[in-house]
């Protein structure tokens, strides 16, 4: 399977998705920043793939994931997280041994896992989608430095889902974010793509 980051991105930003319960998600979208209730000490997972987020949150219908947020973050922050990330699981050939991977994982402020990308029916596709976990320093930077804007995209998620259910896949596709390959070469992904 190929490992390519597909994302909505500009010259300076990349959009990632998260889903939260309304008491947290709605203030974040309203204020354009995460509220005090957002726990910076916890691992937070961001996903550049809109459809992978839909798979994860059930189109914004799973409990405590009813508010889907598009979080536009600075590209330099996103790339810092990738450079400082460790794979979330041991990969033979990528790490010298399991003990060294565990040491790296304990120290890394970010972690990566690659999961099958999803289609409009949320079925797996033959290529991988990035999930980026942010902890400690990375989570704090994400919330306090990297975030450029936060938009509630729950209505769009519901509209796309309704079109999928009615069988109008062309109209559903037209509403999807325009995710294109993110320019991340060996320098950013070399330590995250073996296996």
Q: How far is CA 106 from CA 67, 101, 124, in A?
A: 31, 9, 30
Asked whether residue 1 carries a pLDDT value surpassing 70, the answer given is no
* C-alpha count within 13 angstroms, C-beta hemisphere, residue 112: 26
Whether 131 and 52 have beta carbons less than 8 Å apart is answered as: yes
Among the residue ranges 27-31, 72-76, 177-181, 191-195, the one predicted with the least confidence is: 191-195
Please state, rounded to an integer, the average pLDDT across all residues of the chain: 92
User: Which of 57, 59, 63, 81 lies closest to 22 in space, CA to CA?
Assistant: 63
Q: What proportion of the chain, given as a percentage, has pLDDT over 70?
A: 97
Asked whether residue 133 carries a pLDDT value surpassing 50, the answer given is yes
Whether 141 and 80 have beta carbons less than 8 Å apart is answered as: yes
**Alpha-carbon gap, residue 136 to 113, rounded angstroms:** 18
Confidence grade of residue 194 (pLDDT, cut at 50, 70, 90): low
Q: What is the DSSP letter of 169?
A: H
- Please tell me the predicted confidence (pLDDT) of residue 95: 66
């Amino acid at each position: 399977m190929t490992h390519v980051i597909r994302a909505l991105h500009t010259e300076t930003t990349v959009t990632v998705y998260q889903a939260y319960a309304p008491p947290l998600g709605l203030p974040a979208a309203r204020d354009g920043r995460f509220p005090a209730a957002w726990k910076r000490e916890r691992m937070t997972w961001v996903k550049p793939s809109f459809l992978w987020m839909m798979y994860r949150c059930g189109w914004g219908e799973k409990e405590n994931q009813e508010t889907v947020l598009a979080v536009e973050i600075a590209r330099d922050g996103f790339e810092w997280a990738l450079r400082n990330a460790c794979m979330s699981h041991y990969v033979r050939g990528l790490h010298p041994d399991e003990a060294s991977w565990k040491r790296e994982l304990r120290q890394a402020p970010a972690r990566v896992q690659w999961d099958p990308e999803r289609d409009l029916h949320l079925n797996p596709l033959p290529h991988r989608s990035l999930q980026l976990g942010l902890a400690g320093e990375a989570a704090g930077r994400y919330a306090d430095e990297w975030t450029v804007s936060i938009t509630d995209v729950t209505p769009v998620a519901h509209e796309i889902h309704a079109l999928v259910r009615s069988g109008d896949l062309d109209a559903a596709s037209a509403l999807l974010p325009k995710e294109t390959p993110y320019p991340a070469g060996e320098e950013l992904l070399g330590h995250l793509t073996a296996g």
